[in-house]
Structure 1
Amino acid sequence: MHGICERDLFDFALRSDFESFLKYSVLTLNPGMPFLPNWHIRAIAYQLERIRRGEINRLIINMPPRHLKSITVSVAFPAFVLGHDPRQRIFSISYGSELSLKHARDFRSIVESSWYARAFPQMRLSRSLDDEAATTLKGFRKATSVGGVLTGLGGNMIILDDPQKPVDALSKTRRDGLNQWFTNTLMSRLDNKETGAIIVVTQRVHMDDLSGHLMGGSGHWEVLSLPAIAEVDEQVPIGDDEFHYRRAGTALHPEHESIQMLRVLQNDLGTYDFGAQYQQAPIPEGGAMLKREWIRHYDVAPARKPRTKVIQSWDTAAKDGEQNDYSVCTTILVDGEDYYLLDVLRGRFDFPRLQQVALAHAERFKPTKVLVEDASVGIALAQVLRSKGRFRIEAVKVEHNKQMRFFIQLAKFEAGHVFFPRNAPFMADLLAELLAFPRGKHDDQVDSLSQALACKVSDYTSALMAAMSD
């Protein structure tokens, strides 16, 4: 009797909690491999449950590869949905038939397991083919590939899992072809356009990939974006009135891929591929305002000489505190018409800490001039630095908007006068921000750099030369 009660509780958990259901699905498909629970799985499960309950019917999930997205969305979720309602008609579509058929085999492994049969006794298959599993109540899960035959078929749920290979997304013709196929063909397969559900789960590969195309359209899409490394502090829904508070700089699933491993991947893949596939923040081809071909690198910065100058440029957060924007200091060596970026300091600081960091950074580089934006926290920081009497401080009045300030400096990049350190640890994040601006998530490094490049050094050149001649 005790054993029967435990089994009943187990079956109830499988029916009522998708995360528990997913765990046993993973163990069924990968016996002997551990299931590593994580908050991002709860976040995905919550949005999928909202789809099942009919609260939303358009969902985009953007996340890096190898984080259980296919098993969760394309395999386990259809099994869970059909377990609750065997009348559901589900299409599961991927970029190629081989991948679609693998997901179909995995689906059948779950619904044909003994634990599934106990948990969902009303769900029985009447037909089990390579690409289709049909239920006794006329429901089905049909697997096909993008562009596959769908004529005469209709359903009430469509799941697109990796609808395009990353390499194919580099072709405008293929991107446009997928986007047109989605709009002109796939949408027509929904029995009811208003209530039918569509789920797109994929890594980002291009600004104009299917996710970008759909988010830029008129339809309302719920978007769950899960970058491999958090770029901002955020709260992610994991249940009704339940949130996971994710801190900037943390890995999506540290037990699966540590922050150290992700940084290695970032260096190996490069700014463009890592930004798209892992950070879900694709950079425009060739750059947006700043073109990729304008980027110049150096291996060793010029030695500091009497005629060179070092500029430090602070872009401070609008408010202090860890929940707000970054404060950034770029340090640039100016040698004639050439600008060499020496360092980027970026962090969230309360004001006492910001003072300490700014003073220590100035002591380190002995700048000719320290620029501080004359606004908000920057006003107070300039006053503190000036009161120390050690450095020349200039409070910079803000003129024009961020885009115009950066646009004015683009001629220096195009002429080949701006140089970046080739292997500095901050370069991956900096280039991602520069090339995406103004369409990226952040602009603090761009603003600090614009301010530094705009600095007039001629106003104190004569003073320096006079000091040298004394």
Structure 2
Amino acid sequence: MDAKIFSALLRADFHSFVWKCFNTIAPDATYIDNWHIESLAYHLMQVQEGKIQRLLVNMPPRALKSICVSVAYVAWLLGHDPRRRIIVVSYSNELALELHRQFKMVIDSEWYQRAFPAMRLAKDTGLEAVTTLGGCRYATSVEGTLTGRGANLIIIDDPHKADEALSPKARAKIINWYQGTLVSRLDDKQSGQIIVVMQRLHPDDLSGHLLLTENWCHLNLPAIATEDCAIPLGPGRVKHWRCGEPLQPKREDSELLESIKREIGSQRFAAQYQQQPVPDGGNALKREWFLTYEQCPMQQPGDRIVQSWDVAAAIGDSNDYSDLAEA
């Protein structure tokens, strides 16, 4: 393809731009396109056009959400308007640095500079890239320093650490930080935009809080469709997603997803992959249903006695064991 035509395509079509960014960041990996990337791209374009002010995206791990949103989308926006001021937040400083490094790989590439010649950096500190026109991409971690910082777009990318999400104190800290610090960094509270992209970890994580308290456009993409639905892909175009159909069948088919579920456990799979976190007490059996007695209750007419045994008969090293005792 002619270089000028190719540059024009990358300037006009964000879906194609994501593909090119992926190949730049991970040249040895294989890019497998899928309709969920097209849907995410469509929603991000609606943010750019001002049609969406608050976008919440829930997706399973390894679905390209960080490359699409925190890397490619920021490079795309600054390419079209180098005056944009963007804050990108991750759960750790290490992840913030890595995503910023990937962003730099994109904007330093020859193809990007051909496509967006007006986008040039005046400085880069490893966490902040400042354009010659005063725009910037500032990377930070949850509860990181934001004093004196302002933005017209804030991106929050996986704010919770998976191993801390079960802690009420840790969850509350992130929600309080979002409400008390982060939202105040928007230059204009009416026109300023926020994107949250994350996998679910707990019913009361940041996603759960936002869905209860604010009017968010919610793009919810579990690893396996839980019901028949129509996912927007563009103006007048939808994906008719059938119940039980995997999100990315070429990468993670039903058999592989079932294997992952067995490996990580059904509760974690329900949250991180299905975006349906289970309450702390479970959603089937509740502890308060089971009572204790000092004396066996008297059997009443019509009562039934039901006995159920889980003998843990599997012999793998990681399986539970059974205690056998003589009566």
| TM-score, structure 2 as length reference | 0.88
2:127 is aligned to 131
Structure 2 letter corresponding to 1:146: V
Matched, 1:89 2:57: no
Structure 2 segments unaligned to the other structure (5+ residues): 291-302, 314-327
Structure 2 letter corresponding to 1:270: G
Q: Deviations over 1:245-282 (max 9, x none)?
A: 11111111011111101011112222210000000000
Question: Following superposition of structure 1 onto structure 2, how do residues 96-111 of structure 1 map, counting pairs within 5 Å?
Answer: 96-111=92-107
Aligned with 2:165: secondary structure? Answer: helix
Matched, 1:27 2:23: yes
Take 1:338 and 1:195, find their aligned partners in 2: how far apart are those partners?
A: 62
Q: Deviations over 1:110-141 (max 9, x none)?
A: 00110001111111111111101110110000
2:63 is aligned to 67
Q: Decide which structure has greater helix share.
A: 1
1:281 is aligned to 276
Structure 1 letter corresponding to 2:122: S
Q: How far off its partner does 1:32 sit?
A: 2.7
Select 1:253's aligned residue among 248, 253, 256: 248
Question: Following superposition of structure 1 onto structure 2, how do residues 447-462 of structure 1 map, counting pairs within 5 Å?
Answer: none
Question: Does the CA contact (< 8 Å) of 1:286 and 1:293 recur in 2?
Answer: no
Select 1:337's aligned residue among 300, 305, 308: 305
Q: How far off its partner does 1:294 sit?
A: 6.6
Q: Deviations over 1:305-334 (max 9, x none)?
A: xxxxxxxxxxxxxxxxxxxxxxxxxxxxxx
Structure 2 letter corresponding to 1:56: I
Question: Does the CA contact (< 8 Å) of 1:228 and 1:252 recur in 2?
Answer: yes
Matched, 1:221 2:221: no
Cα distance change of structure 1 residues 292 and 243 upon mapping to structure 2, 3 Å threshold: farther
Pairwise CA RMSD: 1.9
Cα distance change of structure 1 residues 239 and 166 upon mapping to structure 2, 3 Å threshold: same
Q: How far off its partner does 1:422 sit?
A: 7.5
Q: How far off its partner does 1:19 sit?
A: 0.8
Query: Which protein, 1 or 2, shows the higher relative CO under an 8 Å CA cutoff with sep ≥ 6?
Result: 2
Question: Does the CA contact (< 8 Å) of 1:91 and 1:157 recur in 2?
Answer: yes
Identity of aligned residues (%): 47
Cα distance change of structure 1 residues 223 and 250 upon mapping to structure 2, 3 Å threshold: same
Structure 1 segments unaligned to the other structure (5+ residues): 296-334, 341-418, 424-470
Structure 1 letter corresponding to 2:102: D
Q: How far off its partner does 1:336 sit?
A: 4.0
Matched residue count: 301
Aligned with 1:216: secondary structure? Answer: helix
- Which aligned runs of 4 or more in structure 1 are off by greater than 3 angstroms? 292-295, 419-423
Q: How far off its partner does 1:54 sit?
A: 0.6
Q: How far off its partner does 1:289 sit?
A: 7.1
2:299 is aligned to none
Matched, 1:79 2:87: no
Q: How far off its partner does 1:97 sit?
A: 0.2
Question: Does the CA contact (< 8 Å) of 1:60 and 1:211 recur in 2?
Answer: yes
Matched, 1:167 2:135: no
1:264 is aligned to 259
2:239 is aligned to 244
Of structures 1 and 2, the larger Rg is shown by 1
